[in-house]
Structure formats: structure tokens, C-alpha cells
Amino acid sequence: MSEITFDDFLKVDIRVGEVIRAEAFPEARKPAIKMWIDFGDEIGERKTSAQVTAHYDPAKLVGKQVMAVVNFPPRQIGRFMSEVLVLGLPDENGEVVLIGPDGEVPIGGRMH
């Protein structure tokens, strides 16, 4: 594991957002879900694609608060442009479980 400085950590902008729309992404090479996430007035709405189909149904993601890195450059995934990276951890089978706050917090808040 390589070490980073605190200043390096501060360069990663991790924010909480609320999923406002989600739909299946059948064109993806691996099963995925497209999400549109509201990060509040400062950042606005951003979209992403995530391989989270083992634990999530698109309709049930709407209204969920998630954590995401918002300052990576956009990445083309098929015909879809992913603008943020949602964060998650693998379960015992390697399937992604999304990370979000333990309780309701204002959207757009930056992780400290």
C-alpha cells in the first residue's frame, strides 16, 4: 500500500448525492445501472454507470443517498458518458454494495 499526504486526500472531492433517476444499462459489457444523481446547487446533476445489479433494482435506487467522487474527468462507457464515480465495497461474493451516509444529510455535502 502506498502512502499519500493529507493534501493528496483533499484533492479527491467526495460528495453525497441523491439518486433522482435510474435505469438498466443493457448495452454495458457487464450488467450495470445508469444513475442520475443530484449533488445540490454547487455541482448539480451528474450521471454515472455502476455495476451494482446484484444488490439494486433501478426503481429502488431513486431517493437513495450515495457517496461519489465528483472531480474525476468524464469517462465514456459505450454510448453513455459517466461523470462521477459512485463508491462501494465488495460483499463476500465480490458484488458491489454502495456507500452512503448512515442518516439523511444535505445533498452536496463534502466528505471530511
* CATH code, domain with 17: 2.40.50.140
- Flag whether pLDDT at 112 surpasses 90: no
Structure pTM? 0.94
Give me the amino acid identity at 93. Answer: N
Cell matching residue 14: 467526495
52: domain range? 13-98
3-state secondary structure (DSSP) of residue 9: helix
Does the residue 51 lie in any domain?
yes
Angle at 61 between CA 46 and CA 38, to 5 degrees: 25
Mean pLDDT calculated for residue range 55-72:
97
Indicate whether 17 belongs to any domain: yes
Is the model's pLDDT at 53 over the cut of 90?
Answer: yes
Answer yes or no: is 60 within a domain.
yes
Residue 6 lies in a domain: no
User: Is 86 domain-assigned?
Assistant: yes
Over residues 21-43, the mean pLDDT reads 95
How many domains are there within the chain?
Answer: 1
In a domain, 4, yes or no: no
